[in-house]
Amino acid sequence: MARPFFDDHPQQPPNVVARRAQHRVQAVAVCALEVHKLFALLSDVVARRPGMNVTLVDTRGTLARALSDGAGESGNWENEIHPTAHG
């Protein structure tokens, strides 16, 4: 099984582990911001082109976020890209 990108190793000093935890929090915040920016951009495109026959559905917040330091099933997620059956 592949290790998570921000995997902590037992032999790492505490300051490295703390820095990685801070980076995880920052990465989640940046991703959330980018998702909101993308939705705003797509909303604008759809609003400017009513004849495109496109419906934009806001699914943000539909699934519970997975733990950033978890591997395997977490929140409503089976893995990085697949929601669980109940998610």
How does pLDDT run across 44-76, given as a tens digit for each residue? 999 999 888 899 999 898 888 777 666 667 777
More confident: 32 or 23: 32
Whether the pTM exceeds 0.85: the reply is no
| CA within 13 Å, CB half, 55 | 2
pLDDT of residue 41: 97
**Which pair of tokens denotes residue 34?**
């980018």
Average pLDDT, the chain: 79
User: What is the Cα–Cα distance from 70 to 75, expressed in whole angstroms?
Assistant: 10
User: What is the Cα–Cα distance from 27 to 33, expressed in whole angstroms?
Assistant: 10
